Structure 1
């Protein structure tokens, strides 16, 4: 296996192990909510003026799929829509108090998982971090360009 394959396999293995380790605790703590719903809630809380277009671009899904998802979250009382006085055409979303509860549970779990894995990150030098971050950034930019070639515009904020 060449180094490129090793890197890709390594990223996949890391991701799959993190998902596997975190899955039970996430599902127990966020029972009744799908991963898509929780990550939509997270995005809305962390990004001002979130709308269906921004959500769809961020999660590489269609606007129709996100429109359905946001309607579900509205029905569950987790988000609410609003419009700006200067733009009545665009619909934005914000969390309700109940949505903030779900966001906080999810955020606390991520902090717990970061604490679990802290020992590894403490052993990594600034130079090593910079090297990995540089690689990830280059690969992301390459994939953005490839996605753009097939006609999908990604908002990489």
Structure 2
């Protein structure tokens, strides 16, 4: 019975982490510009910046959101001067999204914040091995894959 109890505690801990992240994400912050941005906006900018040029379809696939929801988010970023949209010259049906110079400032600022935060957390987790981290990743991915399958996301 111990395995089951530990697994249930793991699941409850994952839900607690999810609730904490959700509350953290609901507070707008500044990321190197005058704009206050929500975490979902900054993470969308990160996806755009990581890809250099992308589409709403690519972002929707990565984030498990609808193309409509991603399109609304991108429009907010465009209205704030953080991203631009334009028709793909090779495919008129496709819209390309990329960061503006201001969006790149937010992207770089957030990447540096993440690096500092991750390094801080890593320094507090010395009792865990690299294999412990790999096992956690495998367990988390398995749970995500099962949740996607059960909910119809594939």
TM range (shorter): 0.7 to 0.9
Match of 2:15 among 12, 16, 21: 12
Query: In structure 2, how many angstroms separate the alpha carbons of the residues matched to 1:70 and 1:144?
Result: 24
Match of 1:98 among 97, 102, 105: 102
Tell me the CA shift for residue 123 of structure 1. 3.1
Tell me the CA shift for residue 135 of structure 1. 1.3
Q: Secondary structure at the match of 2:37?
A: coil
Query: In structure 2, how many angstroms separate the alpha carbons of the residues matched to 1:98 and 1:59?
Result: 23
Deviates more, 1:129-138 or 1:14-23: 14-23
1:57 counterpart residue number = 61
Tell me the CA shift for residue 48 of structure 1. 4.8
Query: In structure 1, how many angstroms separate the alpha carbons of the residues matched to 2:124 and 2:16?
Result: 16
Query: In structure 2, how many angstroms separate the alpha carbons of the residues matched to 1:53 and 1:10?
Result: 32
Tell me the CA shift for residue 33 of structure 1. 1.4
2:29 counterpart residue number = 27
Is 1:67 aligned to residue 71 of structure 2?
Answer: yes
Residue segments in structure 2 that go unaligned for 5+ positions in a row: none
Tell me the CA shift for residue 141 of structure 1. 2.0
Query: In structure 1, how many angstroms separate the alpha carbons of the residues matched to 2:114 and 2:26?
Result: 12
Is 1:3 aligned to residue 2 of structure 2?
Answer: no
Higher RCO structure (Cα 8 Å, ≥6 apart): 1
2:127 counterpart residue number = 123
- TM-score (ref. length: structure 2): 0.78
Q: Secondary structure at the match of 2:84?
A: strand
Question: What count of residue pairs does the alignment treat as equivalent?
Answer: 149
- TM-score (ref. length: structure 1): 0.77
Q: Deviations over 1:63-85 (max 9, x none)?
A: 22222221121121110113333
